[in-house]
Amino acid sequence: MYWNEKIETLKPDALSALQLKRLKKTLSLAQNLDFYRKQFKNAGIQKTSIKTLDDITKIPFTRKQDLRDGYPFGFFAVPLKQVVRIHTTSGTTGKPTVVGYTRKDLDTWSDLIARNMTMVGITDEDIFQNMVNYGMFTGGLGFHYGAEKIGMTVIPSATGNTKRQIEMINDFGVTAIHCTPSYAMHLSEVAEEMGTSLDSLKTGIFGAESWSESTRKALENRLGLTAYDSYGLSELFGPGVAFECPERDGLHIWHDSYLVEIIDPKTGEHVADGERGEMVVTPLVKEAMPLLRYRTGDITMLMEDGCLCRRGKKIARITGRSDDMLVIRGINVFPSQIEHVLLRIPEVGNQFMVYIDRINHLDEMTVEVEINRDSFSGELADLTRLQKKVVKELRDTLELRTTVTLVEPGSLPRFEGKAKRVIDRREAE
């Protein structure tokens, strides 16, 4: 099933021609940005140096840090007046990364989401419950408008109150759901506890964090649906970048909209198809915020085997990241953000450890932090107050609930070389 059959099945020559045309337009837009003008000058290239798709390797990479340095609007290539929406995602310290959309961007984005959902057989007959955050996170509004575009009956239930979510699924006869895979596991457990089966469900769209085949099997058995992997990142609009088709063997990435390279993260050189590396993407259809050779940090590969349903190489499931960004219940967290928060609280030291576990299928983050010798009175009541304060400060910055354990001064490990403060204990499934 196609949302836009012509574009989704373009023959290779026509696709390359379209990519080159769109790349040139993107290059022109990028020239509106100081950042790219400087980058081109430093690399000794001009817009006209890019004559073929292969010439793209002449352009230096753009990194998340560059976007952060441009905070807040340094990467907007159109006047702010034309930016009709802003989303943000975690940066490496206090400031988030800002992404902006023109009206046309929002239309293009919802079209991409509509393509994905149509690809897995969702239609205007479906009743869709969107169980992700509707705020600055791109997953909520992104899927909402894509689903409305198809004409589905959309329930913007957002997150929280799992029992109520389950009641709505049953009462409204929901057929398709969207959430993180970890929340889906939690949902299935609460449904079991409530002694209810979610009989109306047919399709589950899960993404925003990595998950495995065994989680897929468990979700399909427990929820009685077919589960699809959905990938995206805010810098490339949000969700809708790549999506599984009914084969469920790799994700189709929309090659007319995203030019994909896979590189060795250390050397920056291309790796062969079938070899894993970091995905670098040049979006070809973005207006407000054009990006060139954006380093996603995500590790995947271009798959050698094609697919019958759509042309172009698929990408494999994302297996990890090349940087230290953590994805916890779909929320991006950098260890440096945690440090930043702790350093602002005088009663705690700068020694901390972060543990990540998967408990009852949900990611849980525990922060162990040393109390500062000078500011601790020895009173237990003071400790409780301080612990609550650290939890609140972390929640305010990370938008994530954490468990905080205060420990005695000098009790945490010290590092001679590079500190390894994050221990990810989520089992490699």
Q: Which of 332, 337, 351, 397 binds ligand DLL (CB under 6 A)?
A: 332
100 contributes a contact to ligand DLL by CB under 6 A? no
Task: Give the tokens for residue 266.
Answer: 């250390």
130 contributes a contact to ligand DLL by CB under 6 A? no
363 contributes a contact to ligand DLL by CB under 6 A? no
400 contributes a contact to ligand DLL by CB under 6 A? no
Tell me the number of residues near ligand DLL by CB under 6 A: 24
182 contributes a contact to ligand DLL by CB under 6 A? no
210 contributes a contact to ligand DLL by CB under 6 A? yes
Q: Which of 186, 248, 321, 395 binds ligand DLL (CB under 6 A)?
A: 321
229 contributes a contact to ligand DLL by CB under 6 A? yes
Terminal-to-terminal C-alpha distance of the chain:
32
From start to end of 245-379, where are the E strands? 251-253, 258-263, 277-283, 294-300, 314-315, 320-321, 326-328, 331-333, 348-359, 362-371
Distances (CA, A) of 346 to 94, 186, 268, 336, 350: 17, 37, 41, 17, 9
List helix spans (H) across 31-137: 34-43, 64-69, 103-119
Q: In angstroms, what is the minimal distance from the CB of 233 to ligand DLL?
A: 4
8 contributes a contact to ligand DLL by CB under 6 A? no
**Only segment of 18-26, 112-120, 206-214, 265-273 that touches ligand DLL (CB under 6 A):** 206-214
Site of tokens 């002449």: 58
Nearest-angstrom CA–CA distance, 126 and 56: 41
138 contributes a contact to ligand DLL by CB under 6 A? yes
- DSSP state at residue 407: E
231 contributes a contact to ligand DLL by CB under 6 A? yes
- Cα 349 to chain centroid, rounded: 32
176 contributes a contact to ligand DLL by CB under 6 A? no
244 contributes a contact to ligand DLL by CB under 6 A? no
Cβ atoms of 109 and 353 within 8 Å: the answer is no
CA-CA-CA-CA torsion sign (74, 77, 78, 79): positive
298 contributes a contact to ligand DLL by CB under 6 A? yes
Residue 39 or 296 having the CB closest to ligand DLL:
296
139 contributes a contact to ligand DLL by CB under 6 A? yes
Q: Which residues contact 197 (CB under 8 A, 6 or more apart)?
A: 191, 224
List contacts with ligand DLL (CB under 6 A): 89, 137-139, 207-210, 229-234, 238-239, 296-298, 318, 321, 327, 330, 332
